[in-house]
């Protein structure tokens, strides 16, 4: 009997690009394991596209141990763009093609968001490089055409590995902030990553935050007035609030009389993105100045992106890797595996997956069904979406009400 596997002698190389997530190592491990089953040799390209420049930077993952539960990416990442950009006008595609040849790579698998997979798509379309994309982003804004069925309606949602683990952390953070807030009868403005989309910010609502501001809906002067009214009203009733804000919120600047964003650094990366950070501080101080209520800001920053891969992400990456195996067997390139519908963990199975043409990937912001623009919060539809991923919300309360002592009655 011939025991040779069908792809013996061929090589798959995996890279991860852009911001890391807790689910990248899990994606690498699962893809690597599927490729090994088919007989491929598996390389890891270090630091995203950067590992295909110059001499190349490659490691052999073939029969090595790999811990997919550990967060981040053991291959490291970068925001290197192979194509000319404002920051780097050099076209580095020839170097990439040269290295793919030199290292004898037959199939390239790119774990990334819109930037990394967008570049992979161009390499596939323009240069015919056999590429398979794999979704990744805590922002959850890479279009996956995953449908969410809610009360008989079908809504186009998004489901990218990395988002479930990050959403878990953001919701926990909102939940934990409650006790310090209650103790000081404060408002806490919790800033969450998300340049262009508020999917991750919504998970704070799942953790009990009362209000949320997202990049999809600009905070014009008029909307800002209504927002402060809403804050006043809710604070009167609850005596403490958690307000989640996406880092990329467009906020009306009273002095400049225009909408603006708050940058940590205006220097752009090779995909043209500046770095956001600090909007929560602006909003907290405006709340204090306008309403006279004590408010603080808390930037969740890199915390949601850090740490171990949650169980949902673990299974999600495994299921999507099954689809990669399918693509590898059929030598069907220029595709990315996706979930067809939002399902609870026990239904993350092969029959709920599909592939989409990498030509149709792109950014997917929040749908109107998920956000209540009048009340500055997320809707029950969004809570249902996240329930599939995180289970039922857990919102503990102190639970006791003490009677006030009246000295006149003693
Ligand atoms: O990968 C996307 C993201 O998580 C954005 O939400 C955020 O703006 C960005 O990464 C920050 O990444 P870094 O500071 O690591 O470049």
For residue 402, name the pLDDT band (cuts at 50, 70, 90): very high
pLDDT at 4 over 90: no
In the predicted structure, residue 1 carries a pLDDT above the cut 60: no
CA of 152 to the centre of ligand 1 (A): 35
Q: Which of 321, 338, 369 is nearest to 144 (CA)?
A: 338
327 within 8 A of 343, measured Cβ to Cβ: no
Mean pLDDT, range 138-160, rounded to an integer: 96
The verdict on the CB of residue 304 being under 6 Å from ligand 1 is no
Phi, psi angles (nearest 5°) of residue 372: -100, 100
In this prediction, residue 106 carries a pLDDT of 98
Ligand 1 atom nearest to CA at 200: 6
Query: What amino acid positions are annotated as catalytic residues?
Result: 139
Q: What is the pLDDT of residue 30?
A: 98
Q: CA torsion, points 382, 196, 310, 204, in degrees to nearest 10? A: -50
At 3 the pLDDT is 65
pLDDT tens readout for residues 192-214: 999 999 999 999 999 999 999 99
18 lines ligand 1 (CB under 6 A): yes
Query: What per-residue confidence (pLDDT) applies to 45?
Result: 98
Predicted pLDDT at 359: 79
- Dump the DSSP string for 43-54: EEETTGGGGGST
Q: pLDDT tens across 298-353, in order?
A: 999 999 999 999 999 999 999 999 999 999 999 999 999 999 999 999 999 888 99
The predicted pLDDT at position 332 comes to 97
pLDDT band at 363 (very low <50, low <70, confident <90, very high): confident
Which tens digit of pLDDT belongs to each residue from 270-310?
999 999 999 999 999 999 999 999 999 999 999 999 999 99
Q: Across residues 60-72, what is the average pLDDT? A: 97
Nearest CA-CA partner of 135 in 360, 350, 295: 360
Quote the pTM value: 0.96
CA nearest ligand 1 atom 16, residue: 19
CA 381 from centre of chain? 19
Q: Is the pLDDT at 2 greater than 60, yes or no?
A: no
Write down the mean pLDDT value for the chain: 96
Q: Which two tokens stand for residue 361?
A: 């990937």
CA dist., res. 233 & res. 165, Å (int):
33
What is the H or E stretch that residue 398 is in?
none
pLDDT at 220 over 90: yes
First to last CA, the chain: 95
Residue 354's closest CA among 382, 385, 323, 393? Answer: 323
What atom of ligand 1 comes closest to residue 113's alpha carbon? 1
> Which pairing describes strands 11-16 and 107-112: parallel, antiparallel, or unpaired?
parallel
Q: Ligand 1 centre from 234 Cα, in Å?
A: 32
| b (16+ CB within 10 A) / e for 382-407 | bbbbbebbbeeeeeeeeeeeeeeeee
User: Please, where are the H alpha helices in 5-78?
Assistant: 24-37
Cα–Cα distance measured from residue 137 to residue 141, given in angstroms and rounded to the nearest whole number: 7
266 alpha carbon to ligand 1 midpoint, in Å?
13
The pick from 193, 244, 262 for probing ligand 1's pocket by mutation, whose C-beta has the most ligand atoms within 8 angstroms, reads 193
**For residue 44, which of 77, 66, 73, 13 has the smallest C-alpha distance?**
13
Q: Domains in the chain, start-ordered, CATH in brackets?
A: 11-144+309-360 (3.40.50.450), 166-305+367-390 (3.40.50.460)
Structure-model confidence comparison of residues 364 and 23, the more confident one: 23
């Amino acid at each position: 009997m011939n025991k040779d596997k069908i792809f013996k002698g061929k090589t798959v190389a995996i890279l991860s690009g852009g911001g890391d997530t807790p689910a990248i190592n899990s994606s690498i491990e699962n893809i690597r394991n599927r490729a090994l089953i088919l007989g491929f040799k598996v390389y890891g390209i270090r630091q995203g596209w950067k590992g295909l420049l110059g001499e190349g930077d490659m490691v052999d993952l073939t029969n090595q141990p790999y811990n997919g539960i550990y967060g981040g990416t053991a291959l490291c990442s970068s925001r290197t763009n192979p194509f000319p950009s404002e920051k780097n006008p050099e076209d580095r595609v020839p170097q990439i093609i040269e290295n793919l040849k030199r290292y004898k790579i037959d199939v390239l698998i790119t774990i990334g968001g819109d930037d990394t997979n967008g570049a992979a798509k161009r390499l596939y379309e323009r240069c015919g490089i056999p590429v398979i994309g794999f979704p990744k982003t805590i922002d959850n804004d890479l279009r996956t055409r995953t449908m969410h069925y809610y009360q008989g309606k079908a809504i186009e949602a998004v489901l990218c590995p990395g988002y479930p683990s990050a959403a878990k952390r953001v919701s926990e953070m909102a939940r934990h902030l409650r006790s310090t807030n209650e103790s000081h009868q404060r408002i806490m403005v919790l800033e969450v990553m998300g340049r262009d989309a508020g999917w991750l910010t919504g998970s704070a609502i799942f953790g009990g935050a009362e209000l949320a501001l997202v990049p999809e809906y600009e905070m014009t002067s008029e909307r800002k007035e209504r927002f402060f009214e809403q804050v006043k009203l809710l604070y009167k009733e609850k005596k403490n609030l958690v307000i989640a804000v996406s880092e990329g919120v467009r906020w009306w600047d009273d002095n400049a009389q225009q909408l603006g964003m708050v940058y940590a650094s205006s220097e752009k990366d090779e995909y043209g993105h500046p770095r956001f950070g600090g909007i929560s501080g602006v909003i907290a101080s405006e709340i204090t100045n306008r309403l006279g209520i004590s408010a603080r800001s808390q930037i969740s920053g890199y915390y949601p992106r850090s740490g171990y891969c949650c169980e949902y992400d673990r299974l999600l990456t495994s299921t999507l890797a099954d689809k990669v195996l399918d693509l590898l067997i059929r030598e069907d390139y220029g595709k990315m595996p996706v979930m067809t519908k939002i399902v609870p963990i026990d239904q993350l199975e092969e029959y709920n997956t599909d592939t989409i043409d990498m030509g149709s990937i792109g950014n997917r912001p929040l749908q109107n069904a998920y956000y209540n623009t009048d009340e500055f919060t997320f809707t029950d539809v969004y809570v249902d979406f996240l329930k599939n991923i995180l289970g039922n919300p857990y919102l503990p309360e102190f639970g006791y009400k003490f009677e006030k002592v009246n000295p006149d009655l003693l």
